[in-house]
A and B are shown apart, each in its own frame.
Chain A
């Protein structure tokens, strides 16, 4: 191989990796552009009941109902892609879609990299156990136990990890934190006895207990309540503001509370400000 070739190959390899790392350098996407296209493309991980899941071949759920109302208000068509969680933020970076409409806990790591909408829900993170299992009786003492959570960058798992660090300082931390591919696997692992407890938001835990009655019970909640919202690329704050405007209208008209009743069985307080972590975009 000649030196020239080696150089070209090196250049090619560099170009490829640089291209992979950088997001598409196109300008910001805003509502005007979406309206002129007549279509908004949205990425969703439709595997998180009751927020978003597939029923009879269609994406349904709380987020989907909210999204449908926003899209209708904008008067555009919705193209919604179902993307596994592992690839969902990469797809946003690469411009495969402009909005991630999937329940995302507003943690500082995410808020530093993406522009969060205002919250669509508030959730407490909790630990669930097998019904009647007396190995675990309080979230204050997880000594010797193994607790599972969805694979990072899952929000509930990061809450659990931070909480467990605090517990460890008092010598009552969990033995190990086990990661599962998704909630169904997590709950199966708990039912099968692979783990002693599972961490999720109360909204999802309620759904699991409904779908598999007499299998699980809640041990207790951990940490403060978390706000849940959607994200857009950090440059698209104008688009984020347009989404916020519609969410605010839905909240003020009482529609949002109605949807919360429908999917969660109760309604929530959605604040106007103060919901973002300090370093947020």
Chain B
């Protein structure tokens, strides 16, 4: 087997084009996934018994079934009920619905780490419930869960490779196309691995910066 890395030079512009799509898809899924996660968490904390049961069932499904199948379900099932979504948006929806479930669990975990005394003190000062959430609980929760969120976001970026199955021409599918035309799998996949690594590393560096900026909110 001989290697010819010249093919990477040919492939790079197309791979970067695919990487752009992977990145924008992941960022959109994060932007939607965070509010989904917060919504699920709020529902779990303050919803009625039926809503709470439904949400925990949803979370178990999102965490207990392969993302691959969730992507297929969103893309192929919604047309059956009259919602025909283009593959890119189907991918974003599937990724954010999946990520939202994990994020709500992280928030729940973060809440348990906040000392009860703080909330009791706030209540004693007659702070309204909403204000306690906004000023005391939520900022600390977010400072606490930033490290696991970073893990979730990088996992999401890598998992986004799965959406190639519904025809989104992101980084992995672009690589498959090039491999199929050039018959050079090893060279191309090494290059693609490096591109994913650089993207994950950048995402990690970004959230580490935010982490430092929000360190003041972390409970001691």
- Contacting pair B177 A19 (CB below 8 A): no
Chain B residues numbered 174-220 whose CB sits less than 8 Å from any CB in chain A: 176-186
The residues of A that contact B178 with a CB separation of less than 8 Å are 54
- Contacting pair A53 B177 (CB below 8 A): yes
In the assembled complex, A87 has its CB within 8 A of some CB on chain B: yes
Which one of A134-142, A180-188, A262-270 contacts B? A180-188
In the assembled complex, B77 has its CB within 8 A of some CB on chain A: yes
- Contacting pair A19 B182 (CB below 8 A): no
- Contacting pair A46 B180 (CB below 8 A): yes
The residues of A that contact B142 with a CB separation of less than 8 Å are none
In the assembled complex, A55 has its CB within 8 A of some CB on chain B: yes
Question: How far apart are the CA atoms of A121 and B173 in the complex, in Å?
Answer: 27
- Contacting pair B77 A16 (CB below 8 A): yes
The residues of B that contact A57 with a CB separation of less than 8 Å are 14, 17
The residues of A that contact B84 with a CB separation of less than 8 Å are 95-96
The residues of A that contact B77 with a CB separation of less than 8 Å are 16, 19-20
- Contacting pair B80 A53 (CB below 8 A): no
State which size class the interface on B falls in: 20 to 34
The interface residues of chain B, by DSSP majority, are classed as: helix
- Contacting pair B167 A94 (CB below 8 A): no
In the assembled complex, B35 has its CB within 8 A of some CB on chain A: no
Residue of A nearest to B166 (CB): A87
Question: How far apart are the CA atoms of A246 and B57 in the complex, in Å?
Answer: 53
- Contacting pair A87 B79 (CB below 8 A): no
The residues of A that contact B73 with a CB separation of less than 8 Å are 16, 20
- Contacting pair A86 B53 (CB below 8 A): no
Check A191/B165 contact, CB under 8 A, given A48-B180, A212-B183.
no
Chain B residues numbered 13-55 whose CB sits less than 8 Å from any CB in chain A: 14, 17, 50, 53
Chain A residues numbered 13-34 whose CB sits less than 8 Å from any CB in chain B: 16, 19-20, 22, 24
Residue of A nearest to B182 (CB): A211
The residues of B that contact A9 with a CB separation of less than 8 Å are 57
Check A84/B165 contact, CB under 8 A, given A47-B180, A187-B183.
yes
Question: How far apart are the CA atoms of A43 and B87 in the complex, in Å?
Answer: 13
Q: What is the minimal beta-carbon distance from B133 to any residue of chain A, in angstroms?
A: 28
- Contacting pair B183 A184 (CB below 8 A): yes
The residues of B that contact A188 with a CB separation of less than 8 Å are 1, 183, 185-186
Question: How far apart are the CA atoms of A55 and B73 in the complex, in Å?
Answer: 31
- Contacting pair B167 A81 (CB below 8 A): yes
Query: Which residue from A54, A90, A91, A95 sits with its C-beta under 8 Å from B177?
Result: A54
Question: How far apart are the CA atoms of A187 and B169 in the complex, in Å?
Answer: 23
- Contacting pair B79 A95 (CB below 8 A): yes
The residues of B that contact A145 with a CB separation of less than 8 Å are none
- Contacting pair A191 B14 (CB below 8 A): no
Chain A residues numbered 243-277 whose CB sits less than 8 Å from any CB in chain B: none
Question: How far apart are the CA atoms of A87 and B90 in the complex, in Å?
Answer: 15
Check A22/B165 contact, CB under 8 A, given A182-B176, A182-B180, A183-B180.
no
In the assembled complex, A170 has its CB within 8 A of some CB on chain B: no
Chain A to chain B contacts (Cβ below 8 Å), 26 pairs: A1-B53, A43-B167, A46-B180, A47-B177, A47-B180, A48-B180, A53-B181, A54-B178, A81-B87, A81-B167, A83-B167, A84-B173, A90-B76, A91-B76, A94-B76, A94-B80, A183-B180, A183-B183, A184-B180, A184-B183, A188-B183, A188-B185, A188-B186, A192-B1, A208-B183, A211-B182
Sort A-B residue pairs by CB-CB distance and give the 9 closest, nearest first: A47-B180, A19-B80, A54-B177, A83-B167, A53-B181, A184-B179, A211-B183, A184-B185, A94-B76
Q: Which residues of B contact A (CB under 8 A)?
A: 1, 14, 17, 50, 53, 57, 72-73, 75-77, 79-81, 84, 87, 164-167, 169, 173, 176-186
